[in-house]
Amino acid sequence: MNSYPSKIFHWIAGREVESNDYFAKINPADEKKLADVARGNRAEADQAVKAAVESFEAWAGMSVNERAEVLDRAIGLIEQKRDELAEIVALEFGESKKGAQGEIDAAIKCGKFFAAIKSFEPEILESSLPNRSLRLERQPAGVGVLIVPFNNPAAGVAWKIFPALLCGNTVVLKSHEDTPYVGVWFAKIFQEAGLPDGVFDVVQGVGPEIGQALVENPKVGFISFTGSSRTGSAILKASADRMVKVSIESGGKNPIVVCADADLDKAVAGAVSASFIDAGQRCAAASRIIVVEQVYDEFKKHFLEKVKTLKVGVADDANYGAIINERRMQAILDAVKGAVSRGATLLCGGERLKLLGFFIAPTVLEGVLPDDEISRTEVFGPVPVLYRVRDFEEAVALANHSDYKLSSAIFTESLNRAEEFIKRMRVGVVRVNAPTYGSEPHVPFGGLGLSGNGWREPGRQALDFYSELKQVSIDYHGQS
């Protein structure tokens, strides 16, 4: 591909900035080096934050409408260059171009949702005091850091950058080590769309190095983080003393409950799709398939039949692609081996495919205890576990038995049972007769427990994170 660079730099104050050190980005689908990537350090983090600080007043001072116009122009350019971005995502993430195109379309829709918000109407309140007018206005949250995961890299950047810029913030995006070019590509598009230099900066490098330096920078006023719970917790600790506003969107251990009265074809299709989407590398992928005993054997038979038809690779008809890097592939295989050594039954897969690239065969386990490590930790791979339960009561209890509380689904034809499940699940998302993943730009997404700390992106609720309310009152003397 022509547009993928052999060297990837930081993007600071509207231009590429070199580093002293570089690391290799490997294509997960063929194990070849794609590029050398800048390995940023604290000085480079500070340089990027400085650019964002210096550009803040002018950008924050523009009207929402003017900022939305820049967003509109950027969306037009992304639409024009949709194919180029899809190729970058497909290469970095190790998936089919068709799969990547679906993600770009989601990113564009997200941009359009935010660009359509042309003004923030103040809320008018009535004061209990005489001769006082009162209103609430939105103001930018400040200079922020956006930290993204490797999965769905284009949609991940879009979810953060569009609301962050619309609200008048200036930001430094920390690219993921495994998907380094997507953020720079977006920043270049925004420059072409007329975004002033410095408003959107991008740095490259290793999380505990440049990521940590950004989080510790005293000029940073907010941090929007999507990634693992472990990193989220480290970021909260590192920024706690300065009381920085931090949004954490992290992992999931999402259950699907299959009831005796479920449409089994629909349940099998939904559970397979939710378990293997992006090779299980999605926060909202399903990893715990909880089936009541009356239909367990029948469900398992059809589930395994469908799993065996899955195609793995980067061809457009593939169901899923590669694991993002060799280390993570090995960790997934080790997690499966560990579960089997503790008594789990491997129903299929459990091995690396004999292909170039980091591909794992579709894997299914059963006979795992609810407190086994593989039941409690996020594997982030194509490895669902089937659980046999007595009845609905046990299914709900097991579904809720997790420190992660992101998404969940139930397959049932009973409206009463569906409503009961909705009421009793302590999670951020409940779906009835549909997979655990899939979101829309106007709908806020997020979880409880280890899955997040209460903020929501996208939807209008994202504006509550990326802006701060200002209470304004005007006292007048009441005489003309």
Pick out residues in 320-349 that bind ligand NAD (CB under 6 A): none
Q: Are 479 and 134 in contact (CB under 8 A)?
A: no
Pick out residues in 238-257 that bind ligand NAD (CB under 6 A): 249-252
User: Of all helices (H) and strands (E), which one includes residue 7?
Assistant: strand 7-8
Tokens describing residue 240: 């706690």
According to CB under 6 A, which one of 215, 260, 264, 410 is a site residue for ligand NAD?
215
Closest CB 331 distance from ligand NAD, rounded Å: 10
450 by DSSP, 3-state: which?
Answer: coil
Whether 348 is catalytic: no
Of 45 and 85, nearer to ligand NAD (C-beta) is: 45
Of 308 and 426, nearer to ligand NAD (C-beta) is: 426
CB neighbours of residue 234 within 10 Å: 18
Question: C-alpha distances in angstroms, 385 versus 11, 117, 292, 333, 349?
Answer: 42, 43, 14, 14, 12
Q: Are 179 and 155 in contact (CB under 8 A)?
A: no
Which residue in 192, 140, 138, 148 sits closest to 165, CA to CA?
A: 140
Of 151 and 319, nearer to ligand NAD (C-beta) is: 151
Taking residues 195 to 214 in sequence order and writing x for each that binds ligand NAD by CB under 6 A, - otherwise, the string is ------------xx--xx--
Which residue in 259, 286, 284, 261 sits closest to 271, CA to CA?
A: 286
Of 55 and 250, nearer to ligand NAD (C-beta) is: 250
Of 4 and 23, nearer to ligand NAD (C-beta) is: 23
| Interaction of residue 147 with ligand NAD, rule CB under 6 A | yes
Of 367 and 444, nearer to ligand NAD (C-beta) is: 444
420: left (phi over 0), alpha (psi -120 to 50) or beta: alpha
| Interaction of residue 151 with ligand NAD, rule CB under 6 A | yes
Catalytic residue among 167, 259, 283, 348: 283
Taking residues 363 to 392 in sequence order and writing x for each that binds ligand NAD by CB under 6 A, - otherwise, the string is ---------------x-x------------
Of 211 and 357, nearer to ligand NAD (C-beta) is: 211
Determine the interface stretch with ligand NAD among 5-13, 223-231, 355-363, 384-392 (rule: CB under 6 A).
223-231
Is the backbone peptide bond immediately before 208 cis, with ω within 30 degrees of 0?
no
Phi, psi of 399 (to 5 degrees): -60, -40
Determine the interface stretch with ligand NAD among 25-33, 189-197, 221-229, 299-307 (rule: CB under 6 A).
221-229
Q: Are 202 and 165 in contact (CB under 8 A)?
A: no
| Interaction of residue 454 with ligand NAD, rule CB under 6 A | no
Closest CB 474 distance from ligand NAD, rounded Å: 41
| Interaction of residue 149 with ligand NAD, rule CB under 6 A | yes
Residues 6 or more apart whose Cβ sits within 8 Å of residue 360: 279, 312, 323, 329, 332, 333, 349, 351, 352, 353, 381, 382, 383
347 by DSSP, 3-state: which?
Answer: strand
Tokens describing residue 320: 């899923």
Residues 6 or more apart whose Cβ sits within 8 Å of residue 365: 336, 339, 340, 344, 345, 346, 347, 374, 383, 384, 385, 386
Count residues binding ligand NAD (CB under 6 A). Answer: 26
Closest CB 96 distance from ligand NAD, rounded Å: 19
| Interaction of residue 283 with ligand NAD, rule CB under 6 A | yes
| Interaction of residue 158 with ligand NAD, rule CB under 6 A | no
Half-sphere exposure of 408 (CA within 13 A, CB side): 29
Of 140 and 149, nearer to ligand NAD (C-beta) is: 149
**Position of minimal CB gap to ligand NAD:** 207
Q: How far apart are CA 73 and CA 82, in angstroms?
A: 14
Closest CB 300 distance from ligand NAD, rounded Å: 26
Q: Are 256 and 286 in contact (CB under 8 A)?
A: yes
According to CB under 6 A, which one of 30, 84, 228, 438 is a site residue for ligand NAD?
228
Pick out residues in 163-182 that bind ligand NAD (CB under 6 A): 174, 176-177
Determine the interface stretch with ligand NAD among 13-21, 141-149, 309-317, 411-419 (rule: CB under 6 A).
141-149
- Residues near ligand NAD (CB under 6 A) are 147-151, 174, 176-177, 207-208, 211-212, 215, 226-228, 231, 234-235, 249-252, 283, 378, 380
Question: What residues are annotated to the active site?
Answer: 283
